């Protein structure tokens, strides 16, 4: 039996191309992985009549780990978002997005190395909203923040910091205005911080945080925040280091996790083998770290860094003209070199 059994979703648009490049890198590790291929998204609709077949959810529940290419969200078909549905069905409460500068990527900043931990299940994204009157002249949305989910996400952030040798956790909120919802989140964060005295703790109001991130992103390490603020700040941070082609992400629950790129399926480039495979390659490195293969995680990140710094085998978005597979192959070679 293989050491690891992992669900693999190749995804839509350019997804299968970047997964193909990622496989070159994972094969170069020599790790004993058995892939259980499942469908989700457009490809699944043709075969199963739904973008999220039960088989796929069951496979992830069984294997507890999945690597996923981006999925095109069908518009105007009545199907719900695959990503939101998977997070709910599998109770993946933490969205983890590392943000790191790479030498050789055009960017205003050089020393960014931070991680955003975003609460994935509540806040304004709980979808409790409606029109107030028949004429639809006013609408309201209920912001739900619970002690349970706040404790869970802040504790996750501190444990992540401890396990990954990070020094500081910053809790981001707007408790000065939203005294009940964000007040609760902040109170819980302060209490949980007392359990982790080896990790520095601070809190910041979200508007100030947005400015601080643009002025001095190198001052931050692990950032933990509620759903909407996390969504906005993580895209801001992806912009700090050169864009979407380099941004990996993970959705993590009690004992299940899905690793993927932050970007979407870039359908206009489908079949051209043109897009950057780095985000999914870095997501696969996070996956290996999650499985306990910390050394392989570090080595893949280093191989990506070296390939980007070398600059000869990078895709169009990094100023090169390599194909998706040429870049993946070069990263795999760098990995084998050491």
The set of catalytic residues is: 125, 174, 207, 231
* CA 218/CA 100 separation, integer angstroms: 10
Do residues 197 and 166 lie in contact, with contact meaning Cβ atoms separated by under 8 Å?
Answer: no
Is residue 174 near ligand NAD by the rule CB under 6 A? no
Which of 89-97, 110-118, 145-153, 261-269 is the region at the interface with ligand NAD (rule: CB under 6 A)? Answer: 261-269
Residues 225-254 touching ligand NAD, rule: CB under 6 A, are 244-245
> What binding mask, one character per residue, do residues 17-56 give for ligand NAD by CB under 6 A, x or -?
----------------------------------------
Minimum CB separation from ligand NAD for residue 18, in Å?
6
Which of 144-152, 189-197, 218-226, 267-275 is the region at the interface with ligand NAD (rule: CB under 6 A)? Answer: 267-275
Nearest to ligand NAD of 44, 244 (CB atom): 244
Is residue 327 near ligand NAD by the rule CB under 6 A? no
Is residue 7 near ligand NAD by the rule CB under 6 A? no
Q: Closest CB to ligand NAD belongs to which residue?
A: 264
Nearest to ligand NAD of 276, 305 (CB atom): 276
Which of 120-128, 199-207, 263-271, 300-308 is the region at the interface with ligand NAD (rule: CB under 6 A)? Answer: 263-271
Nearest to ligand NAD of 190, 268 (CB atom): 268
* CA 274/CA 315 separation, integer angstroms: 7
- What's the CA angle centered on 130, arms 127 and 134, to 5 degrees? 165
SS (H, E, C) 37-106: EECCCHHHHHHHCCCCCHHHHHHHHHHCEEEECCCCCCCCCCCCCHHHHHHHHCCCCEEEEEEECCCCCC
Q: Dig out the tokens for 127 from the structure.
A: 């979808």
DSSP letter (8 states) at residue 274: -
- What's the CA angle centered on 233, arms 228 and 239, to 5 degrees? 140
Report, in angstroms and rounded to the nearest whole number, the Rg of the chain calculated over CA atoms: 20
Residues that bind ligand NAD (CB under 6 A): 70-73, 83, 244-245, 260, 263-268, 275-276, 279, 317
């Amino acid at each position: 039996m293989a050491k690891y059994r992992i669900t693999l979703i190749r995804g839509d648009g350019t997804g299968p191309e970047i997964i193909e490049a990622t496989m070159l890198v994972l094969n170069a590790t020599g790790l004993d992985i058995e892939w259980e291929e499942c469908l989700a998204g457009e490809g699944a609709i043709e075969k199963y009549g739904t973008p999220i077949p039960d088989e796929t959810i069951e496979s992830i529940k069984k294997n507890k780990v999945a690597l996923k290419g981006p999925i095109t969200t069908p518009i105007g078909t009545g199907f719900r978002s695959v990503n939101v549905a998977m997070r709910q069905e599998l109770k993946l409460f933490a969205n983890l997005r590392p943000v790191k500068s790479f030498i050789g990527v055009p960017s205003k900043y050089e020393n960014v190395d931070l991680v955003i931990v975003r609460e994935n299940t509540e806040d304004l994204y709980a979808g409790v909203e409606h029109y107030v009157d028949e004429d639809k002249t006013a609408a309201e949305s209920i912001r739900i923040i619970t002690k349970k989910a706040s404790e869970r996400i802040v504790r996750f952030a501190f444990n992540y910091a401890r396990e990954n040798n990070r020094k500081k956790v910053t809790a981001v909120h707007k408790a000065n205005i939203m005294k009940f919802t964000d007040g609760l989140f902040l109170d819980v964060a302060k209490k949980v911080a007392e359990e982790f005295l080896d990790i520095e703790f601070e809190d910041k109001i979200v508007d100030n945080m947005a400015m601080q991130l643009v002025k001095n992103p190198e001052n931050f390490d692990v950032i933990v925040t509620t759903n909407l603020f996390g969504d906005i700040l993580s895209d801001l941070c992806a912009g700090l280091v050169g864009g979407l082609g380099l941004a990996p992400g993970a959705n993590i629950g009690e004992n299940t996790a899905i690793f993927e790129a932050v970007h979407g399926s870039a359908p206009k480039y489908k079949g051209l083998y043109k897009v950057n495979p780095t985000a999914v390659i870095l997501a696969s490195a996070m996956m290996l770290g999650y499985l306990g293969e910390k050394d392989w995680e570090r080595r893949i990140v280093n191989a990506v860094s070296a390939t980007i710094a070398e600059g000869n085998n990078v895709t169009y978005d990094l100023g090169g003209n390599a194909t998706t597979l040429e870049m993946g192959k070069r990263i795999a070679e760098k990995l084998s070199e050491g």
